[in-house]
């Protein structure tokens, strides 16, 4: 790619940012679509977030991604926020508009697009979520937004799962989300098979032998298992799902598709499935 006077810049705001895969993915998409855009990491120190967002606008940046620890804090410096991002309470993508940036959440639509490409249909289904952290909460909001019948949240600390359920039920209707302790799954899961989303940090590198539910009987209930962890590429959760006849996917696709959707918002193009899949391959290669 040759950069010139017309090159537009996008970047990643976070702290730290040194581990990011986003430049690889974004610059590959720019190259493949012929967009004159470059994507770079911006390490923003604590206390400098507002200055960074204003500075980005002043420097005519086309857009930014936002990562840890700024996904919630950034919301107060935006001129507009997409309704889904508002509900999730986290913005990971800034799109340049008149007077500033509009905030979006592309993490969850990224997961949804990955599911669509994997042929996983959540419409009208009760989906199981393991965990009750920020990611699990966002998944519950997404599933409601995309027409799931309900969600069952299992968490070690049941009060945290209950908090998410109460919040989502506040706008979704009383019975959409239910919260239980992890060990209650045997009495709660009355249907034959479920789509299960593993949204805890258990099993993440380097503790790759850990899994949030050890009991093998649980995995007979899993038709499709999504682990939102991407390192290692095959977690113990995924192994157990596969050993019990289910399909299992990791979080790499979600990561790539959040970037794909951000790129589409910035550049007003559609990224083909082939390009997205090549991004996934490159990312997995780079992680080795
Ligand atoms: P994030 O924002 O990435 O979702 P988080 O808010 O720290 O991260 O949430 C981590 C999730 O992993 C929580 O559901 C947590 O359970 P608790 O709410 O009980 O803390 C879950 N988790 C982390 N370590 C765990 C462990 N050893 N066993 C069971 N659950 C665990």
pLDDT value of position 174: 82
From the candidates 71, 102, 125, 146, give the one annotated as an active-site residue. 71
CA-based max dimension of the chain = 63
The alpha carbon of 198 and the centre of ligand 1 are apart by a number of angstroms equal to 11
Cα(259)–Cα(223) distance, rounded to whole angstroms?
A: 27
Query: Please, are residues 196 and 211 in contact by the beta-carbon 8 Å criterion?
Result: no
Sheet holding 222-227, edge to edge: 177-181, 150-155, 126-130, 194-198, 222-227, 247-249
Does residue 134 have its Cβ closer than 6 Å to ligand 1? yes
Query: Please, are residues 71 and 43 in contact by the beta-carbon 8 Å criterion?
Result: no
- CA atoms within 13 Å, Cβ hemisphere of 189: 25
Does residue 52 have its Cβ closer than 6 Å to ligand 1? no
pLDDT value of position 287: 84
pLDDT value of position 252: 93
The number of helices, as runs of H, and strands, as runs of E, in the chain is 11, 12
pLDDT value of position 288: 82
To test the pocket of ligand 1, the residue of 107, 201, 228 to mutate (highest count of ligand atoms within 8 Å of its CB) is: 201
15-21 contacts, C-beta under 8 A, 24 or more apart = 15/43, 15/44, 15/45, 15/46, 15/68, 15/69, 15/70, 16/43, 17/41, 17/42, 17/43, 17/67, 18/43, 20/67, 21/255, 21/283, 21/286, 21/287
Does residue 251 have its Cβ closer than 6 Å to ligand 1? no
Cα(219)–Cα(224) distance, rounded to whole angstroms?
A: 10
Pairing verdict, β 93-97 and 80-81: unpaired
- Is 71 among the residues known to form the active site? yes
Q: What is the mean pLDDT of each run of 10 residues along the chain (288 residues)?
A: 94 97 97 97 98 98 98 98 97 98 98 96 97 96 97 98 97 94 94 98 97 96 97 96 98 96 98 96 89
- CA atoms within 13 Å, Cβ hemisphere of 237: 31
Q: How far is CA 133 from the centre of its chain?
A: 13
Residue 36, burial from CB neighbour count under 10 angstroms (0-12, 13-18, 19+)? middle
Q: What's the whole-model pTM score?
A: 0.94
The alpha carbon of 251 and the centre of ligand 1 are apart by a number of angstroms equal to 16
Q: Convert 253-268 to b/e letters by CB count within 10 Å (16 or more is b).
A: bbbbbbbbbbbebbbe
**For residue 286, what are its two tokens?**
């780079």
pLDDT value of position 238: 98
């Amino acid at each position: 790619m040759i950069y010139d006077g017309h090159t537009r810049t996008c970047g990643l705001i976070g702290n730290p940012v040194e581990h990011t895969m986003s430049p690889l993915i974004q610059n590959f998409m720019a190259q493949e679509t012929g967009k004159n855009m470059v994507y770079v990491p911006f390490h923003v120190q604590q206390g400098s977030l507002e200055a960074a967002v204003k500075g980005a606008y002043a420097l005519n940046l086309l857009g930014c991604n936002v990562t840890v620890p700024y996904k919630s804090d950034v919301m107060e410096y935006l001129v507009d926020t997409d309704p889904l991002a508002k509900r999730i309470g986290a913005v990971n993508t800034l799109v340049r508009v008149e007077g500033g940036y509009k905030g979006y959440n592309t993490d969850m639509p990224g997961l949804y697009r990955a599911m669509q490409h994997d042929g996983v249909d959540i419409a009208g289904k009760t989906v199981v979520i393991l965990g009750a952290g920020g990611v699990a909460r966002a998944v519950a909001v997404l599933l409601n937004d995309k027409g799931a019948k309900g969600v069952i949240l299992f968490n070690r600390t049941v009060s945290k799962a209950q908090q998410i359920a109460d919040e989502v039920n506040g706008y979704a209707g009383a019975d959409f989300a239910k919260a239980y302790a992890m060990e209650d799954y045997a009495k709660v899961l009355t249907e034959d098979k479920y789509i299960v989303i593993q949204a805890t940090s258990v099993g993440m590198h380097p503790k790759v032998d850990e899994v949030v539910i050890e009991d093998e009987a649980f995995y007979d209930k899993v038709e499709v298992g999504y682990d939102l962890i991407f390192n290692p590429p095959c977690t113990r959760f995924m192994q157990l799902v596969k050993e019990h006849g289910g399909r299992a996917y990791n979080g790499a696709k979600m990561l790539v598709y959040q970037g794909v959707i951000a790129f589409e918002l910035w550049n007003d193009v559609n990224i083909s499935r082939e390009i997205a899949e090549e991004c996934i391959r490159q990312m997995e290669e780079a992680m080795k």
